[in-house]
Amino acid sequence: MADVRYGEHPNDFRLVFDMAFPNSVTGSPATVIGYAGSTTLYVEFSGVNGASNVASMPPGQVVASVVPLPMVRNTGRLIFKITLRKNAPFDAYYLSGARLVIDVT
C-alpha cells in the first residue's frame, strides 16, 4: 500500500487506497469490505504489503478515522479499520493503476 488519501466530494467523503502510487501495477489484490456494527467498516486487502500512515480526518466528516491494523503487516494481508460517525452506506470500486476508491455518504 503506497498511499491512503481522502477528501470531501459534493455528495460523499472519498477514501483512496493507492497500491502503487506514483507507478501503476498490473492485476488487483483480493479485497473484502464489510461492516462490524453500524459505525465500523473494515477493508481487507490480500496480496499486498506495507501501509502508509493515514492523516487525521477533518472534523465533522462522516469518516472519523482510518487506521491500518498492525498485527497483519508484512503477511500479504492488510486490514484497515474505518470508524464512522454514523451508520453510512458506501460505494467501492477500482480505478486503473490498482487504486481502490470508497465513497461514503
Among 46, 103, 40, 101, which residue's Cα sits nearest to residue 77? 46
pLDDT in tens, 25-84: 555 578 999 999 999 999 998 877 666 678 889 999 999 999 988 766 667 788 899 999
Q: In this structure, is the dihedral angle defined by the CA atoms of residues 25, 9, 34 and 63, taken in order, positive or negative?
A: positive
Q: Which three cell numbers stand for residue 11?
A: 455528495
- The strand ranges marked E within the chain are 3-9, 12-18, 30-35, 40-46, 63-68, 77-84, 90-95, 99-104
- Domains along the chain with CATH numbers: 3-104 (2.60.40)
Predicted local distance difference test score (pLDDT) of residue 41 = 97
Predicted local distance difference test score (pLDDT) of residue 35 = 96
How many Å apart are CA 3 and CA 1, to the nearest integer?
Answer: 6
Predicted local distance difference test score (pLDDT) of residue 28 = 54
Predicted local distance difference test score (pLDDT) of residue 49 = 67
Predicted local distance difference test score (pLDDT) of residue 80 = 93
Greater model confidence, 22 or 59: 59
